[in-house]
Amino acid sequence: MVSVDRMLAFAAMSLIVIVVPGPSVLFMIGRALTHGRRTAVATAIGNAVGSYLLVVAVALGVGALVERSVTVFLAVKLAGAAYLVFLGVQAFRHRKDMKAADMAAPAGPRHGDLRTVADGVVVGVTNPKGIVFFAAVLPQFVAHDAGHLPAQMLLLGLVPIGIGMVTDTLWGLTASAARTWFARSDRRLSLIGGAGGFAMIGLGVSVAATGRAD
């Protein structure tokens, strides 16, 4: 139903988007710095569940619309591209607002695993980068002539979820193992934020320039 070449192309774009530090990555790092690796892993699981809820929403809602209307597809794509550029500009402008001391500060007692997973779900389902990516990019990689667009999106959506689960866990484990390294330099977090901003701007331009795959 979904060709291998489209699956690989979507996986490549997903990897580019996911490795750019966004709200969920910064949240992951903050939880890891504060509570350690167990909390980081539980947060990654919750974030993956929340992100896939976005996939389901897009597949059942936006997927049905773009299947019938090129105009709707174009509107969603351009709105998503513009918002990605906006997020990139904001991330770059506020890169120096990221303070290692704030992220490493105690944030109260450690919650249970289920509560931690639930927190991750909330972050995943409200992540603006995820919302824009799944709404504006995911529809471009389905085969419109094959039909069953919602089912194709649900299948394709598993790709970034799997990638994100691995990368988020690595971010969390790395941060928990390097608390002192992160906590001693605001400049390091500033560089991460600046690079992420530029990458999101580039992604937004790429989304706007990409045509519909029929």
pLDDT of residue 100: 54
Domain assignment present for residue 135? The answer is yes
Closest CA to 156 of 169, 167, 143: 143
The reply to whether the predicted model has a pTM over 0.85 is no
Q: Give the best-scoring range by mean pLDDT among 34-38, 80-84, 184-188.
A: 34-38
> What are the percentages of helix, strand and coil residues in the chain, rounded to 5?
85, 0, 15
From residue 194, alpha-carbon distances to 89, 144, 158, 165 in Å are 9, 37, 29, 23
Q: Which domain holds residue 127?
A: 4-14+23-209
Encode pLDDT of 111-168 as tens digits: 577 888 888 888 788 776 787 788 878 888 887 776 777 888 899 999 999 998 898 8
> Is 214 contained in some domain?
no
Check residue 107 and give its pLDDT. Answer: 44
Q: Based on the structure, what is the number of domains in the chain?
A: 1
- Specify the pLDDT at position 106: 44
Find the Cα–Cα–Cα–Cα dihedral 2, 56, 123, 185, rounded to 10°. 10
- Tell me the one-letter amino acid at 97: D
Whether residue 150 lies inside any domain: the answer is yes
